[in-house]
Amino acid sequence: MPAELPASDVAEYPGLVQDPVVIQPSPVTEIQESPPSSLSLGRVESGGAAEPSTTPDLPTPTQPAPPVIEPGAAQAVENLASSQERVLASQALGLIEYDWQNSLKGWELRFLGSRTGYRGMTYPDDRRIEVYLRDGDTPTSLAHVVAHELGHAVDLTFFDDGDRRAWMSARKVGSGVPWFVGPGGADFSSGCGDFAESFAWWQVGPPAWFSELGSPPTAAQLGILVGLVVLPGLPR
Could you report the per-residue pLDDT of 179-198, keeping only the tens digit for each?
Answer: 998 766 678 999 999 999 99
Is residue 38 domain-resident?
no
Range with the poorest average pLDDT among 117-121, 165-169, 217-221: 117-121
Is residue 99 domain-resident?
yes
Could you report the per-residue pLDDT of 197-227, keeping only the tens digit for each?
Answer: 999 999 999 999 999 999 999 999 999 999 9
Contact yes or no for 215/151 (Cβ under 8 A): no
Contact yes or no for 111/89 (Cβ under 8 A): yes
Is residue 9 domain-resident?
no
Q: Which alpha helices (DSSP H) does the chain contain, by range? A: 7-10, 71-77, 83-94, 100-103, 139-158, 161-170, 191-203, 219-228
- Picking from 206, 189, 193, 66, the residue whose alpha carbon sits closest to that of residue 119 is 193
Is residue 37 domain-resident?
no
Q: Tell me what the mean pLDDT of segment 114-124 comes to.
A: 90
Is residue 155 domain-resident?
yes
Range of the domain at 156: 17-27+67-228
Is residue 142 domain-resident?
yes
CA torsion sign for 209, 210, 214, 217 is negative
